[in-house]
Amino acid sequence: MQELRFNPLTGEWVIVSTATQKRPVRPSSVECPICPGGLEFQDISEYDIAVFENRYPSLLKNPPEVESRGIFKKERAFGVCEVVVYTKDHDSSIPKMPLYQIKKLVSVWKDRTRDLFELSFVEYVFIFENRGKEVGASLSHPHGQIYAFPFIPKRIELKIEAMRKWYEERKKCPICEVISSEPGERTVYENESFIAIVPFYARFPYEVHIYPKRHISTILELSEKEESDLADSIKTIVMKYDKLFDQEFPYMMMLFQAPPKEDVDHFFHFHIEFNPPKRDKDKLKWMASVETGTWTFINPVAPEEAAQKLREVKI
């Protein structure tokens, strides 16, 4: 079963996707499926950065037809799910990758965004990375993913609405205002084009946001210099995480771009969120009843304090 179902209690779409692990796959001598020679790259001895469409995608370019019955509203599960392999080196990770490789990754993100934006059924393109078993990453080989949705997901819709409202009241973009108003106590890192902060409104302990200083709404607008600076910001933040906690610190890294078929660029400011699930070296910050059920977050670490610790980590 592969379909979208509408939840009238929250107005959100749920993807029902049960079509996993049914087809038998040819076994491979290489254990990691995304290493050269592994399951996904059986005839490939080497690659630099590779992107491929997920073997068991929850969204499909050609999804089965669906039929809504009565009040139970369904839609076809249009979309694309891609895996982005950052490097052929299994044991690498963002802190170990050379800067030019991360910059290349940014270029790849741009290329994928451009392609996916052009698909008529795509309403949102979400680039992300789950790092660590704490957030469900099953492979340690450095990789991220891209979901191209046929709708604007609920939290993105909420962000758009909040930013729109701010703009209507103040005729300015909220992120531009946050950047110009930040006194520095929450700043973790800064280069010419980007600023990384633990935001005033951080929900997770050690949550970090990366904002471009120039008001842009998608990564397509990044200049070459900004691509380098973004790569530098991402690498710096992950290095700081790993050094501060003396481990491969788990996180969810998420890129928030404007949707392709809306005109929200005047108030929507592209940004990256790092949401780490840990509150300390070996303490998890669970998404439990309050967080999941009410979407209220109780942050046990003051953002200013987290920022100071991360800022002071020398890398």
Residue 223 binds to other proteins (criterion: CB under 8 A): yes
Element (H, E) at 175: helix 174-181
Residues 6+ apart with CB under 8 A from 295: none
Least Cα distance to 172 among 215, 115, 124, 119 occurs for 215
The 253-282 contact track toward other proteins, x by CB under 8 A, reads: ---------xx-xx----------------
175 part of the interface to Zn ion, by CB under 5 A: yes
Shortest distance in whole angstroms from residue 143 CB to other proteins? 13
d(CA 209, CA 198): 6
Residues 6+ apart with CB under 8 A from 231: 99, 100, 102, 103, 105, 106
Question: Closest CB to Zn ion among 31 and 65?
Answer: 31
119 touches Zn ion (CB under 5 A): no
Please pick, among 141, 143, 215, 269, the residue that the annotation labels catalytic. Answer: 143
Residue 45 contacts other proteins per CB under 8 A: yes
Checking phi first, is residue 295 left (phi over 0); if not, alpha (psi -120 to 50) or beta? left
157-216 residues near other proteins, rule: CB under 8 A:
164, 168, 171, 216
Active site residue 269: no
3-class SS at 30?
coil
Spatial distance between the Cα atoms of 252 and 41, rounded to a whole number of angstroms: 26
Output the smallest distance, CB 235 to other proteins, in A: 17
Q: Nearer Cβ to other proteins, position 49 or 139? A: 49
Q: Catalytic site residues?
A: 143
Query: Where do contacts with other proteins occur on this chain (CB under 8 A)?
Result: 44-53, 55, 103-104, 106-108, 110-112, 114, 118, 120, 164, 168, 171, 216, 218, 220-221, 223-225, 227, 262-263, 265-266
